[in-house]
Amino acid sequence: MAPKSFRIVVLPGDGIGPEVVAQAVRILETISAASPDFDLKLESHDFGGCAIDSVGDPLPPSTLKACEEADAILMGSVGGPKWGVDAKVRPEPGLLKLRKALGLYANIRPANFASESLLDASPLKPEVANGVDLIVVRELIGGLYFGARQELGAASGAEAQTAWDTMIYSVPEVERITRVAATIALSANPPPGNPLHRQGQRPGMLASEFPQLKLDHHLVDSAAMLIVQNPRKLNGVILTENLFGDILSDQSSVIPGSLGLLPSASLAGAPSIPAADAKPTRGLYEPIHGSAPDIAGKGIANPIGTILSAAMLLRYSLGLEKPAKAIENAVRKVLDEGVRTADLRGKATTVEVGDRILAVLKGLL
């Protein structure tokens, strides 16, 4: 039988994006070469600031079309000072447009990549950081990033000195992201009593559809405090609004020790768990960090968030659990060996971390 072929669109983007994506691409290519049953066909497209430079549009129509036709998308990051607040065209709206166009409402950001060897890299005390197992589920195409807004100076008269944003959600939008969070909460820990931490009011559907779940409510300010004061109290899934989830997930990366470690999956539906048995979900996969202009071009960016995003891509969009697990095991082993970039107090370069993960992975495939 001919191997199953998957089309993966790669969007390296700006700043450290191309540096970290290159390491994840090597890993996907190695997995593809070692697997007789499937073939991963990777193709790169311009996206973000580099696309503004080449064609004046952060999301050129050809890139959007390729993404719409792909089985999955692997992204780096977009943005940078060259296309900063005063620029006429900025990269970040291109990312928001892509997420919206593909209907990627469910952003899953695990901050639970547990390795005790990482405890010394966390700015938190080991007794605070140890045993944390939390996943942020962030609504991605509504809320504050997508609400109606007025820029300062856009209105005249009494409104001229006023700027505003709005945060609006419909009940169906809240219910569908709640279902994703509940599915993840049930798969991450066996019932009973797996917690779902939700910011805001409880929708009735949660109690009736997922009676096994234990639901806690937190206001976002106190949740932010708990993430650094006693994060185990939030073990489970945090379900939250778009902007709040953006903030809380960056903050939760402090627990394992670096923003460069955390992956994400942005899905157009609930993930199929166990993914290997079910219909995969279309998705875009990217580290949670940005283009890190302060370290771009130095070869020291941590590629692990992007490499773990590639593992999520295999699991959720291609239904390939075995190589996904192999990547995660290889990453854990390399972190335990102490091969780390500067953000984790190591001396290794981006490429050296990629080399070592690749070498360990080859032994696991």
Applying CB under 6 A, the residues found at the interface with ligand NAI are: 16, 20, 77-80, 92, 95, 259-260, 286, 289-295, 301-302, 305, 343
CA 186 to CA 180: how far, in whole Å?
Answer: 10
The residue range among 189-197, 216-224, 244-252, 351-359 that interacts with Mg ion, by the rule CB under 5 A, is 244-252
Whether residue 217 contacts residue 202, with contact meaning beta carbons closer than 8 Å, is answered with yes
- Residue 246 or 343 having the CB closest to ligand COI: 246
x-marked contacts with ligand COI along 228-247 as a string, rule CB under 6 A? ------------------x-
- Residue 72 or 140 having the CB closest to Mg ion: 140
Query: Residue 146 binds which one of ligand NAI, Mg ion, ligand COI, none, with CB within 5 to 8 A depending on kind?
Result: none
Closest approach of Cβ 145 to ligand COI, in Å?
6
Q: What angle do CA 278, 284, 286 make, to 5 degrees?
A: 120
Interface with ligand COI, residue 288, by CB under 6 A:
yes
- Mention every residue, 6+ apart, whose C-beta is less than 8 A from residue 289: 16, 77, 250, 253, 259, 260, 262, 305
Whether residue 124 contacts residue 230, with contact meaning beta carbons closer than 8 Å, is answered with no
Cβ count near 159 (within 10 Å): 12
- 302-331 residues near ligand COI, rule: CB under 6 A: none
Interface with ligand COI, residue 175, by CB under 6 A:
no
Residue by residue, DSSP assigns 182-215 as HHHHHHHSPSSS-EEEESSPPPHHHHHH-TT-EE
CA 193 to CA 191: how far, in whole Å?
Answer: 5
The one among 39, 57, 92, 173 contacting ligand COI by CB under 6 A:
92
The residue range among 155-163, 180-188, 238-246, 267-275 that interacts with Mg ion, by the rule CB under 5 A, is 238-246
**φ and ψ at 44, to 5 degrees?**
-95, 145
Interface with ligand COI, residue 139, by CB under 6 A:
no
The amino acid that residue 188 corresponds to is A
- Residue 88 or 279 having the CB closest to ligand NAI: 88
Chain residues binding ligand COI by CB under 6 A are 92, 95, 145, 246, 288
